[in-house]
Amino acid sequence: MGLPAADLDLFIDLGDRLIANTDPDITDVVWGRDDTDAYRRYPFRSPYGKRLWDLGREVVAGRLREPGDDLLSRLLRAEVDGDRLSETDLDNFFSILVVAGNETTRIAIAQGVLAFCQHPEQWERLRADPALLDPATDEVNRWTCPTHFMRRTATTDTTLGGAAIRAGDKVVLWYVSGNRDDAEFEHPDVFDVGRSPNRHLSFGRGGPHLCLGVHLARLEVKVVLAALARRVSRFELAGEPRRIRSNFTNGLKALPLRVIE
């Protein structure tokens, strides 16, 4: 994205405070409080969403003055049938790229290491057979399911799985449920680095709402697993993992580890 390196920690911190907006250890914004009404147009109805948008507009203004070859500059130049992204569209693009571009991948990697702590035989399998790297990457993504759910609004009347859905209805997609669906996965509650096929839903499943960064996220998880497999013989828990208090994200606040080379 070409973001200024000096501000990266701030961008990540704001994203954390947005995503973990129900954990009092991470954010001071309380859902249902009257003063959140002032932020209802911002991501997660949060003042941190406004700060992220404000920072994004400063970066965009700089790109308008001095365009580059980074992703934001390309978005500013992009046209579809002569239409360009509006200021609000750019605000949302910026916040989604900053937050989703790091949060879910960090969760998958951290929760994946936790899974290998709890299932050391699977780590031994992966280290012994590099050909398992691709299926192991998919299994880490399925097992960790960084985002538990997403909501969509039906645009037309339809029927899905025998349930009638009317235009305007809010439909909640529970990815975490789909990733443990025993109609799709054999032994879904088993962590298996050799699982194939593995049609998990952690980044969506095709169509216009497929995660924009799905291929990059998968590559990042794969590269980290490959590097760790070359250097680490096993992981051991050195304390209790601390999870983020959230039903939206499957994040960790702390994962005490011993790494044995």
Residue-wise pLDDT for 10-52, tens only, equals 988 888 888 887 888 887 765 555 566 777 788 877 888 889 8
Mean pLDDT, the chain, whole residue set: 90
Domain that holds residue 153: 103-260
Regarding whether 179 and 50 lie in a shared domain, the answer is no
DSSP 140-158: HHHHH-SB-EEEEE-SS-E
Regarding whether 193 and 134 lie in a shared domain, the answer is yes
What confidence tens digit (pLDDT) does each residue in 231-256 have? 999 999 999 999 999 888 899 999 99
Sorted by sequence, the CB contacts under 8 Å of residue 61 that are 6+ apart come out as none
Regarding whether 126 and 14 lie in a shared domain, the answer is no
What per-residue confidence (pLDDT) applies to 29? 65
Q: How many domains does the chain have?
A: 2
What per-residue confidence (pLDDT) applies to 1? 81
Sorted by sequence, the CB contacts under 8 Å of residue 152 that are 6+ apart come out as 170, 171, 173, 209
Regarding whether 129 and 47 lie in a shared domain, the answer is no
Regarding whether 71 and 57 lie in a shared domain, the answer is yes
What per-residue confidence (pLDDT) applies to 257? 95
What per-residue confidence (pLDDT) applies to 35? 60
What per-residue confidence (pLDDT) applies to 36? 62
CA distance 183 to 148: 19
Confidence (pTM) = 0.88
With a cut of 70, which residues of the chain have pLDDT below it? 29-36
Out of 77, 100, 123, pick the residue that ends a domain: 100
